């Protein structure tokens, strides 16, 4: 999700909202009411069934405590929240249970894991780097934003061990193992600089690389700030966002590739030299993409799915008025190899079910379902729910299963729905902003082979290979 609240400056949600107005789409017509589930009504396709649900609880029960991203380790799901994170035991997927909660406000608190370490992104200015900090003004040079590191060797009692400040904070981050250095590298995505922000000065066309030594995580430090757009990114045009950094990076370490969703640009990056990522191709879509938000490779590393977070995640864009090509996924084939590799647009995919005008809905976080020989993905769409869809034929993507709830309200737009939906060891796990934690079981011949694919650890933005076609 993009947000302007963290620094009091123009960020993706305002850009995308303005884009809707510029396009004349600020007041979309309501979808047919009989197509919309009732408030909180659960509906799903015949092949995707909810098998467990846990409400938000404890310090995260309130409406302003948004659930965010998910990482997986040792049969546990770690769900970020604007106010901290929750660790769930999912070794029995139909009977998940809370193992621990850590109160550590700092939005978005996107998470990743490596071994006994958990990494947390803080993107709201705070008075300091502690978990008892208070909100601060980003114009204060002493305010803090960046990466926090926790020891989770005891999942029931995580321990805070280190922090690293990064320019413009850490909206999201991507973990890349560096076994030759006995460390992990965190590629930090952040954006929207302004002259009045001492810790977020323009231009900001870079990523920050934080290195965390596995044996001494307390020595985590900023080691590089490579510039990805030396000549500047997309200047923006009133609909497409101006590029002032990246929103999300997805790595495929085995292939030395990374895909970047960078506000107004989609990029393909060579990371064979981990400290010096190099852009090898760049694409724009100033007609239909308002805010390049995230990216997912297919297993072969021959395609990238980019998402467009039109409206910043807070607006109802899944309706007839907005249409099927805005607020959607863009499917790109990777043609050529090495320095000649380039991205070639093939098609858009958007959920085919219209949502109510009180439902924030747009393409958001997802992961592959590991089926050899097919390209199948599960994806969150906020109040549009969870969609399982296939893009084996890049020109003809299609939905094969879905799960959703009716609107949180039929009179006001309350931000909610599935933030992240990922496949892990046979089940789909969804982090719902307001409702909590869902476990779904997809039962379909096309996805059945994935049931046998197991990972001890899984970070959606650090893609593993699950075999060849």
- Give yes or no for a contact between 429 and 83, defined as CB atoms under 8 angstroms apart: no
Q: What is the arithmetic mean of pLDDT over 413-434?
A: 98
Phi, psi of 272 (to 5 degrees): -60, -35
Q: What are 456's two structure tokens? A: 């001890």
Contacts of 244 (CB under 8 A, 6+ apart): 191, 192, 193, 202, 203, 204, 205, 233, 263
Q: Residue 295, Cα to own-chain centre: how many angstroms? A: 8
CATH assignment, 12-79+164-458: 2.120.10
pLDDT band at 119 (very low <50, low <70, confident <90, very high): very high
Q: From CA 65, how far away is CA 82, in angstroms rounded?
A: 5
Split at pLDDT 50, 70, 90, the class of 35 is: confident
The string of DSSP letters for 150-188 reads: EE-SSTTS-EEEEEEE-TT--SEEEEEEEGGGTEEEEEE
Q: Which helix (H) or strand (E) holds 17?
A: helix 12-22
| Mean per-residue pLDDT over the chain, rounded | 93
The DSSP 8-state label assigned to residue 131 in this structure reads T
Question: Cα dihedral sign for 174, 178, 184, 188?
Answer: negative
Residue 29 has pLDDT above 60, yes or no: no
Average pLDDT (413-424) is: 98
Of the listed ranges 13-17, 216-220, 391-395, the one predicted with least confidence: 13-17
Q: Rounded to whole angstroms, how far apart are CA atoms 152 and 89?
A: 13
- pLDDT range class, residue 468, cuts 50, 70, 90: low
Higher pLDDT, 119 or 23: 119
User: Percentage of the chain surpassing pLDDT 70?
Assistant: 93
pLDDT, tens digit (0-9, with 9 covering 90-100), for 270-288: 999 999 999 999 999 999 9
DSSP string, 426-446: TEEEEEETTTEEEEEEE--TT
Q: What is the largest CA-CA distance in the chain?
A: 58
pLDDT at 239: 96
Whether the Cβ atoms of residue 384 and residue 351 lie closer than 8 Å to each other: yes
**pLDDT in the model for residue 7:** 41
User: What tens digit of pLDDT does each residue of 152-204 get?
Assistant: 999 999 999 999 999 999 999 999 999 999 999 999 999 999 999 999 999 99
pLDDT above 60 for 68:
yes
* 30 has pLDDT over 60: no
Q: Which of 5-19, 179-193, 262-276, 452-466 has the lowest mean pLDDT?
A: 5-19
Closest by CA to 455, choosing from 135, 140, 77, 149, is 77
Residue-wise pLDDT for 372-416, tens only, equals 999 999 999 999 999 999 999 999 999 999 999 999 999 999 999
433 close to 352: Cβ distance less than 8 angstroms:
no
27 burial via Cβ count (<10 Å: 0-12, 13-18, 19+): exposed
| pLDDT score for 467 | 75
The secondary structure of 317-380 as a DSSP string is --STTT-SSSSSEEEEEEESSGGG-EEEEEEEE--SS---TTS-B---BEEE---TT--EEEEE
Question: Is the per-residue pLDDT at 27 higher than 90?
Answer: no
> What are the pLDDT digits (tens) for 334-357?
999 999 999 999 999 999 999 999
Q: Which uninterrupted H or E stretch holds 69?
A: strand 67-73
pTM for the predicted model, two decimal places:
0.95
Per-residue pLDDT at 429 exceeds 60: yes
The whole-number pLDDT of residue 20 equals 52
Q: What is the pLDDT of residues 296-316, one digit of tens each?
A: 999 999 999 999 999 999 999
Looking up tokens 């852009």 gives 279
Domain boundaries, the chain: 12-79+164-458
In this structure, are residues 88 and 130 in contact, taking their beta carbons and an 8 Å threshold? no
What's the average model confidence in pLDDT over 79-99? 98
Contacts with 380 (C-beta within 8 Å, 6 or more apart), sequence order: 364, 365, 366, 386, 417, 418, 419, 420, 421, 430, 431
């Amino acid at each position: 999700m993009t947000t302007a609240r963290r620094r009091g400056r123009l960020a993706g949600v305002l850009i995308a909202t303005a884009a809707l107005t510029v396009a004349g789409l600020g007041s979309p017509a309501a979808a047919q009411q009989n197509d919309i589930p009732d408030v909180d009504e659960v509906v799903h396709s015949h092949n995707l069934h909810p098998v467990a649900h846990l409400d938000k609880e404890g310090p995260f029960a309130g409406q302003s405590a948004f659930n965010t991203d998910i990482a997986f380790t040792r049969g546990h799901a770690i769900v970020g929240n604007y106010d901290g994170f929750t660790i769930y035991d999912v070794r029995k997927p139909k009977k998940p249970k809370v193992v621990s909660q850590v109160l550590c406000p700092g939005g978005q608190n996107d998470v990743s894991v490596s071994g006994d370490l958990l990494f947390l992104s803080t993107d709201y200015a705070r008075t300091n780097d502690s978990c008892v900090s208070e909100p601060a003004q980003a114009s204060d040079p002493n305010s803090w934003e960046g990466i926090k590191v926790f020891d989770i060797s005891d999942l029931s009692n995580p321990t805070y061990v280190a922090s690293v400040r990064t320019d413009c904070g850490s909206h999201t981050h991507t973990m890349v193992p560096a076994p030759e250095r006995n460390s992990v590298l965190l590629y930090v995505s952040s954006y929207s600089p302004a002259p009045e922000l001492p810790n977020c000065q323009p231009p900001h066309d870079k990523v920050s690389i934080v290195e965390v030594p596995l044996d001494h995580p307390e020595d985590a430090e900023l080691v590089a700030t490579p510039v990805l757009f030396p000549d500047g990114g997309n200047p923006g045009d009133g609909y497409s966002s101006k590029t002032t950094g990246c929103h999300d990076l997805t790595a495929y370490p085995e292939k030395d590739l990374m895909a970047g969703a960078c506000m107004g640009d989609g990029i393909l990056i060579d990371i064979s030299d981990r400290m010096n990522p190099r852009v090898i191709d760049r694409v724009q879509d100033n007609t239909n993409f308002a805010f390049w938000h995230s990216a997912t490779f297919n297993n072969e590393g021959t395609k990238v799915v980019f998402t467009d977070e039109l409206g910043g995640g807070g607006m109802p864009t899944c309706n007839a008025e907005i249409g099927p090509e805005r607020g959607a996924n863009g499917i790109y084939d990777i043609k050529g190899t090495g320095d000649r590799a380039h991205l070639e647009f093939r098609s858009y995919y958007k959920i085919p079910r219209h949502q109510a005008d009180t439902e924030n809905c747009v393409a958001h976080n997802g992961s592959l379902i590991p089926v050899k020989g097919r390209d199948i993905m599960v994806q969150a769409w906020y109040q549009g729910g969870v969609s399982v869809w296939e893009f084996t034929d890049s020109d003809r993507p299609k939905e094969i299963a879905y799960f959703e709830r009716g609107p949180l309200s039929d009179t006001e737009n309350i931000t909610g729905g599935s933030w992240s939906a990922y496949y892990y060891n046979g089940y789909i796990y969804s982090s719902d902003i307001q409702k909590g934690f869902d476990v779904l079981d997809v039962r379909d011949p096309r996805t059945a082979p994935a049931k046998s694919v197991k990972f001890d650890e899984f970070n959606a933005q650090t893609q593993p290979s699950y075999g060849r076609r």
